[in-house]
Amino acid sequence: MILRVLVVEDEWPARNYLVELIQQTGLADVVAAVATLAEARQALAPAAGAAIDVAFVDVQLGPRSGDESGLAWVRVQAREPAAPLFVLATAYKQHALEAFELGVSDYLVKPFTQRRVTECIQRLLARASAAGRSDGGLPLRIAARRQRAIVFLDLDDVWACEAADRLTYVHSARGRFDLDLTLATIARSFGRTLVRIHRNWLVNAARVIELERDAGDMTLFVGSANGSDKCGVRVPVAKERAAAVRELLLAGARGVHR
């Protein structure tokens, strides 16, 4: 597996050097290296046509990126559907604690070194692999509870995961079952397969059957369909995520204007 990388660094020498170090690992391919957050947003947009696995972002970008710092931008972007993994680049070690509180995957302290960048890429690859495989080499599945039994669900059978009343559930073709893990932990484990569309919901994007708008509210019907018959669950989309969710779903479909 080769990671597809975006580098966001406003200083030309530092940007070029980081790109060189990433490329020299042989484990990643830098598909875009940009100086501003506006350019970073364009690179991450589905219309760019290059899915980004990891974004390396400088914490303190210069005035060309506007009033928003790299740290503030990552704080927002990390909540977006299908967000990539993030690595913060900083000259100050004190940003490390906030980096991990944000849920970023790693941080690099300047000046960059080949050893540290290689370790970072290797760690990211291990995380990406774990999202698709279990420790035993089998495809990673969801383990849920049904009374005294543990139920194993293939991701293709999973429709959505819900947080409600301090509990977590998985909705699937086989029914609704209890989960021990939080939505945040589940999302980290399964990467882009399960997309956060609401603070209380993750959905399997491949199982979305319908997108509906009513009086400004967006909902998704997630499940399975056979002819005119369908079964599943209707899920609300948070208003602040609606545009990104629509763009994500239409990026993988043809027939309707995006």
DSSP string, 196-252: EEETTEEEEGGGEEEEEEETTEEEEEEEEEETTEEEEEEEEE-GGGHHHHHHHHHHT
For the ranges 13-17, 97-101, 250-254, which has the lowest average pLDDT? 97-101
* Angle, in degrees to the nearest 10, between helices 183-190 and 114-132: 110
Task: Assign 210 a pLDDT band (cuts: 50, 70, 90).
Answer: very high
Q: How far apart are CA 149 and CA 37, in angstroms?
A: 48
Asked if 109 and 90 count as a contact pair (C-beta separation under 8 A), the reply is yes
User: What was the pLDDT predicted at 206?
Assistant: 87
Q: How far is CA 20 from CA 17, 30, 227, in A?
A: 5, 9, 52
Is 142-251 the same fold as 3-132? no
Specify the pTM: 0.56
Q: How far apart are CA 105 and CA 166, in angstroms?
A: 26
Burial state string for 33-58 with b = 16 or more CB within 10 A and e = fewer than 16? bbbbbebbeebbebeeeeebbbbbbb
What's the order of all strands across the beta sheet hosting 54-58?
28-34, 3-8, 54-58, 85-90, 106-109
Q: Which fold has domain 3-132?
A: Rossmann fold (3.40.50)
Digit-coded pLDDT (tens) for 127-180 = 766 555 555 556 678 999 998 999 999 888 999 999 998 899 999 999 999 999
Pick the range with the lowest mean pLDDT from 121-130, 177-186, 209-218. 121-130
CA distance 258 to 87: 30
Q: Tell me, which fold does domain 142-251 have in CATH?
A: OB fold (Dihydrolipoamide Acetyltransferase, E2P) (2.40.50)
Contact (CB, 8 A) for 231 and 221:
no
Category of 82 on φ-ψ map: left (φ > 0), alpha (ψ -120 to 50) or beta: left
**Average pLDDT for the chain:** 83
Domain range annotation of the chain = 3-132, 142-251
